[in-house]
Amino acid sequence: MAPAQRTSAMRISTVNVDGQRLRVAIQPGRGHGQPLLLLNGIGANLELFQPFVDALDGIETIRIDLPGAGGSPAPARLLRFPGLAQLVARALARLGYETVDVLGISWGGALAQQFAYQHPDRCRRLILVSTGTGAIMVPGRLSALLALASPRRYRDPVYMASIAGPLYGGRLRSEPEVARRFAREVRAGDAGGYYRQLLAGFGWTSIHWLHRLRQPTLILAGRDDPIVPAINGRIMAYLIPSSTLHIFDDGHLGLVTSAAELAPIVRTFLTDREGGTPCH
């Protein structure tokens, strides 16, 4: 099936969960394993996952614009990661999903950890991409972290294209057209929602309970990631009992810019009967 056909099959709707409207996209699969819930980075809209979703080819996916991002309005009150994990669980129930596999990238990877810990019966397998353990982790470059403090890159495509290389690293450093294409796919959300997402993770860390996770876990870390250095992937792989670590030659957004390479790795992990081989 051609990528254009797969994209056209995507169903976009809005669900209301306890007064919070959430924009949701469901991409039908072909019965290969559990549906895969995708949790995006801070302020990022669900369309940015599309190259990866197309490359998965056959896995049903659920994408949610989290409050304040894309087409979902900011929450009426600040939701920390436990509250967001509960909101996601209720959204899945509203959509009719009992158990899912979960993939989170960057800020969404932290939320994925929280969801797997808080709702172990709802999460079968876990995939953590370009993410770390929160407040207690090896920090990225100061210039990259300062850029993340503002939603300007989502509101100004020219600015996004100009900083994408040093901010995200990997292919975006050497392939400016890829950076410009990525910038065109960005859909700015609510500015206040962006800052609420920042505050959702303020002071949060998973480092003291990662050893309790029992889901088979795949960890993907970019070798050239200015935001979350790859050493954080090694730390999580050491702490999570049943984990597999794969370091790839790209940057923070490798899941998108290297989708053709990483999607088969994810697909194999999700469909393998044993859920991957532990790395220790």
- Active-site positions read 106
- CA gyration radius, the chain: 17
CA atoms within 13 A on the CB side of 264: 4
Residue 233 in tokens: 């992937």
Expressed in percent and rounded to 5, the helix, strand and coil fractions of the chain are 45, 20, 40
Q: What torsion do the CA atoms of 24, 28, 34, 39 make, to the nearest 10 degrees? A: -30
Residue 11 in tokens: 């169903």
Distinct helix (H) and strand (E) counts, the chain: 13, 8
